[in-house]
A = this chain, B = another copy of it.
Amino acid sequence: MVRKPTSKETARKPNMREAILAAAEELFATNGFNAVSVRDIAQAAGANPGSVTYHFKTKDGLLLEIYRRHCGPMNLRRSELLAAAKRVRDLQDRLEAVVRAYVAPAFTSGSDLAGGGARFTRLRAVMSAEGNEVARKIIAQTFDDTSHAFIDAIHDSLPHVPRTDIVWRSHFLLGALYYSLVTPDRVSRLSRGEADGSDAASAIEQLVQASVAAFQAPALDQAAPARRRPVVSSKT
- How many Å lie between the Cα of A232 and that of B96 in the bound state? 10
Of the residues B130, B176, B205, B233, contact of A126 by C-beta under 8 Å = B130
Would you give 14 A-B contacts (Cβ < 8 Å), ordered by A?
A: A31-B131, A77-B236, A80-B234, A84-B233, A129-B178, A140-B189, A144-B189, A148-B190, A167-B187, A170-B190, A171-B187, A172-B207, A173-B176, A213-B217
Of the residues B35, B100, B207, contact of A130 by C-beta under 8 Å = B35
- How many Å lie between the Cα of A147 and that of B163 in the bound state? 32
The 8 closest A-B pairs by CB, nearest first: A175-B179, A213-B217, A129-B129, A172-B176, A34-B34, A80-B234, A93-B230, A210-B214
- Residues of A bordering B, CB below 8 Å: 30-35, 77, 80-81, 83-85, 88, 90, 92-94, 96-97, 100-101, 125-126, 128-131, 140, 144, 147-148, 151, 163-165, 167-180, 182-183, 186-187, 189-191, 194-195, 197, 202-203, 205-207, 209-214, 216-218, 220, 223, 227-228, 230, 232-236
Chain B residues lying within 8 Å of A202, measured Cβ to Cβ, are 168
Q: Is the CB of A125 within 8 A of B131?
A: no
Q: Is the CB of A232 within 8 A of B175?
A: no
Nearest Cβ in chain B — how far from A95, in angstroms? 9
Given A206-B169, A210-B168, A223-B209, also A100-B232 (CB < 8 A): yes
Q: Considering only CB atoms, which chain B residue lies closest to A100 in the complex?
A: B232
Q: Is the CB of A180 within 8 A of B175?
A: yes
Q: Is the CB of A206 within 8 A of B165?
A: yes
Chain B residues lying within 8 Å of A203, measured Cβ to Cβ, are 168
Q: Is the CB of B172 within 8 A of A179?
A: yes
Q: Considering only CB atoms, which chain B residue lies closest to A96 in the complex?
A: B230
Given A129-B130, A190-B148, A191-B167, also A84-B232 (CB < 8 A): yes
Given A194-B164, A206-B220, A209-B223, also A235-B84 (CB < 8 A): yes
